[in-house]
Structure 1
Amino acid sequence: MKRRIQRLSPHQNGKVAGLMMALVSLVILVPFMLILGSIMPHGERMPWLMVLILPVLYLVLGYIGTVLACWVYNLVAGWVGGIEYDAQEV
């Protein structure tokens, strides 16, 4: 059976994508900062503010980017139809 994605919800998809990007950035940033801290010369300050700012930045930019992408998809899908895919009941 063929199915077609008619519309993507920009706000809902933006929330999910932004939060996922923020969590993934934390998974990458925390170990990176621990490694960086172990190789930094004594007396140098760790850029811990970066660990706080970057996940928030990823969340906001991920949300905005996804909202824009959903808006463009909804616009294009209105002209030419949505993405089609085959589905099968299991």
Structure 2
Amino acid sequence: MKIQIVNVSVAQSAKVVAVLYTVISLPVLLIMALAGAFQGNLGVVLLAVVIAPLIYGAITFLFASLGAWLYNVVARWVGGFEYSIKEMPETRVQA
């Protein structure tokens, strides 16, 4: 069975991508904060821990919104992503 995704929710898609990217960026930002702390630079620590994740999340939300909207436009012209699905047997996890 082939299924085609012809429309995605712009706001929901952008929200999910923004949260994922923000969480993924946290280890890098923590390393920046540690580097700033060792140098005694409170500004770098504040930027890395508080401001950068907010800016990164907001910019990601905007670009993910644009990407989802463009996907919807293109999907109307050429169709959406196609994928095949297969029903898998249930497996029980033994505790």
Q: Are residue 48 (structure 1) and residue 45 (structure 2) matched?
A: yes
Any gaps of 5 or more consecutive residues in structure 1?
A: none
Aligned to 1:82: 80
CA RMSD of aligned residues (A): 1.4
State the number of aligned residues.
86
What secondary structure is seen at the aligned counterpart in 2 of 1:62? Answer: helix
* Normalised TM-score (structure 2): 0.80
**Contact 1:2-1:84 within 8 A present in 2 as well:** yes
Per chain length, whose mean CA-contact separation is higher, i.e. which structure has more relative contact order (CA < 8 Å, sep 6+)?
1
What secondary structure is seen at the aligned counterpart in 1 of 2:3? Answer: strand
What secondary structure is seen at the aligned counterpart in 1 of 2:8? Answer: coil
* Identity across matched positions, percent: 33
* Normalised TM-score (structure 1): 0.84
After TM superposition, what 4+ stretches of structure 1 lie above 3 angstroms from structure 2?
none
